[in-house]
Structure 1
Amino acid sequence: MLHHHLVGPADAPPLVLGPSLGTSKAVWEPQLPSLSRRFRVLRFDLPGHGGSSADILPAPEPGRTTVGDLASLVLDLANQYGWSRFHYAGISLGGAIGTHLAAHHPDRVASLALVCSSAHFGAAQPWHERADLVRLQGTAPLLETSPGRWFADRSFADSPFGRRLLGTLAAADPVGYAACCDALAAYDLRPDLATISAPTLVVGGALDTATPLKHARELAEGIADSVLETIPCGHLAVETPRALQDVLVDHLRTACAEGAMRVPLPD
C-alpha cells in the first residue's frame, strides 16, 4: 500500500489529497487543520517518495508506469477503508491522478479539485530524459533547478517549509521518481475531459511557470460546469496557503450543498 496518513472525524466524508512529483504528503500540511475538521482526510506519498516504497509499483521498468497505475494504488487505499466514494484534491501529478479517477472511475469520485495541474504535461521526451538522468544519478541534479520550477519566489527554498519539500526530493528513490516521470510522459487526458461529471474546481497559479495558466484554462474548458480560480502562487501553491484553503473549502461547501458529500462511509 501507499504510505499514507489519516486524520479527521471517523464519521466525516472522506477526502483524499494527492501530492506533486518530488514532494510528499507534507505539501498539504498548511491546509490540514482546516480540512480535517470537516473531513476524514487521507494524504498519501507517491511511490518512492516520503514513506512509500518504489516496490509497490506494478511495473517499475523504464517506460512502463502510467498515471492509471498510480490511480489504481489510490483506489487500493480507498478500498482498504471501505470508501465506495470519496472527494479528491491533488497538486500537479496528484491532480492528474484525480483527473484519471474522475474520468475512468466516475462512480468513485464525489468531487474533484485540480491544483496547478494539467490534462497533458507536454512532450514525452523531456520526461523520459529526466527519468533516465535520475536513474543514473539520483535526484541530486534536480535540486538546483527545482526551486525555480516549484516556487514563485526562489528564495522560498530557504524557508523551513521550502527546505523540507526539497529534502523530500533529495531523498526520493530514483526508481520511484523516474517511474512517475514515465507516467507523466504518457499522460494525455484531453480527449476524456468531457466525460468527467464530478463537481470540479480548477486552481491555476498566476505565477506558475511549470504549468502556466493555459493548462488550468484547458482543464476548465474541457470539464463541464467546472469552476476556475486563480491564486498568486507558483507550481506547488505553497506561497499563499490560505488562498488555496479558501477556494478549496468553498468548493467542498458547494459540493455539500448540492448533495455530493453524502457519500457512504464504512461501519
Structure 2
Amino acid sequence: MRLASLSYEMNEAAGSRGAGAATVLLLGSLGSNRSMWTEQIRALGDSYRVLAVDLRGHGGSEILEGDSSVVELAADIVSLLDSLEIERVHMVGLSLGGAVALEMGIRHEEKLDSLTVICTSASFGEPGPWRELAALVRAEGMQAVAQAVAARWISPALADADPELVRRLEEIVVSTPVEGYASACEALAEYDVRTELGRIRVPVLAIAGAEDPATPPAELEEIIAGIGHGRLEVLDPAAHVPTFEQPERISELIRGHVADNAESAGAGR
C-alpha cells in the first residue's frame, strides 16, 4: 500500500487543559484544503488540540500519481497519527473527508474516540461519472470544474449575496493539484461502505445541509441507519460545505459532540 506524506496544521489547546486536551482531527472535502476549517480551528482551539489535515494530493500534501482508494486515504491518516504519537482522536470529516472518517470507524476504531461526519455518503453513486470527472480535469485542468464545484459548496442565496466568497471558493478549487483531484475522484468511484456501517461502534454525529445537491440529508440518514446509532442534525440554510455558511453552528455541534465523549474516552491523546 502506498502512503502519502500529509501536510497539516496542529494547534495546541489554549485553555487550562493545554497539552492534556483531547485531539480533534479535521479532514476536508474533495477539491479543498484545510483553510475550509479556519473558523473551527479558532473556535475549538481554546479547549482542544486541533489537527487540520490536507488529504493526499490536496493543499500541501504529497501527490501520488495514479489511482488511489479511500482505504489508502485512511491509511495516510493512521500513519500521520502514529508519526505524531497521537493515540486517538475525535475525527471530523466533510464529504470526501467524511468517507475517510467512516473508513476509519470501520477499520481503525482503535484510533477514534468519536466521529462527526458532515455532508458525506456511504457511497457516491456510479463509478462512471467520477472517472469522467478525473479524465476531464487531467485534460483541461481545474479551471474546467471550479465554478460548478464552488456552486455546490454554498446555497444559491449566499452565492448571490456574496460574490467575493464565491470567487474565493473557486480559487480554492483551482489551487488543488490536478492529479490530487483526479486520483481522489477515482477513489470515490470505487467507494461503497454501505454494508459495513454496522461495524462502527464509536459515538457518531452526522450533519447535513438542507440544500446540499451532492449529499442531501437522506444520505446522512442512511449512514445513521446503517450504523444503528448516532444522531443527525440538518442545517438550513446550508449546502455541501457548511463550514463557510454556518461556521458557528458547525463549531458548536462539533464542540458538543466532542465534549459529550471526551471525558469518558479520556484526554491526553
Per the normalisation by structure 2, the TM-score is 0.91
Pairing of 1:56-67 with structure 2 (within 5 A): 57=64, 60-61=65-66, 64-67=67-70
In the alignment, residue 15 of structure 1 is paired with which amino acid? V
Do the aligned partners of 1:157 and 1:166 also contact (CA within 8 Å) in 2?
no
Alignment check: 8 A CA contact 2:21 2:267 kept: no
Provide the rounded CA distance (Å) in 2 between the counterparts of 1:157 and 1:66: 35
Work out which of the residue numbers 180, 195, 210 in structure 2 matches 1:206: 210
SS of match in other structure, 2:46: helix
* Consecutive unaligned residues in structure 1, runs of 5 or more: none
* Counterparts of 2:207 and 2:77, CA distance in 1: 22
Aligned position for 2:16: none
1:33 CA displacement: 1.4
Superposition deviation, residue 168 in structure 1 = 2.0
Give the one of 31, 37, 40 matched to 2:40.
31
Q: Helix, strand or coil for the counterpart of 2:100? A: helix
- Share of identical aligned residues, percent? 33
**8 A contact 2:90–2:113 mirrored in 1:** yes
The 3 A distance-change label for structure 1 pair 146 and 113 is same
- 2:45 counterpart SS class: helix
Find the aligned partners of 1:144 and 1:18 in 2 and give their Cα distance: 22
- Residue 243 (structure 1) aligned with residue 246 (structure 2): no
Cross-structure match for 2:106: 103
Aligned length: 256
Distance in 1 of aligned mates of 2:138 and 2:153: 21
* Equivalent runs, 1:223-238 vs 2, <5 Å: 223-232=227-236, 233-237=238-242, 238=244
Query: Does the CA-based 8 Å contact 2:149-2:173 persist in structure 1?
Result: no
User: Against the structure 1 CA distance between its residues 181 and 142, is the aligned structure 2 distance closer, same or farther, given a 3 Å change threshold?
Assistant: same
Q: CA RMSD in A?
A: 1.5
Quote the residue 1:53 is aligned against. 62
Residue in structure 2 matching 1:2, options 6, 19, 26: 6
Specify the SS of the correspondent of 1:202. Answer: strand
Equivalent in 3, 14, 20 of residue 29 of structure 2: 20
Amino acid at match of 1:121: F
Aligned partner of 1:121 in structure 2 is 124
1:132 is aligned to: 135
Quick one: structure 1 residues 76 and 4, their matched pair in 2 at CA, closer, same or farther if it must change by over 3 Å?
same
Deviation at 1:88, TM superposition (A): 0.2
Q: 1:117 to 1:196 in 2, by over 3 A?
A: same
When the two structures are superposed, what TM-score results if normalisation uses the length of structure 1? 0.91
Deviations, residues 170-205 of structure 1 (Å, cap 9, x unaligned): 121111110000111111010110010010000011
SS at structure 2 position matched to 1:46 = coil
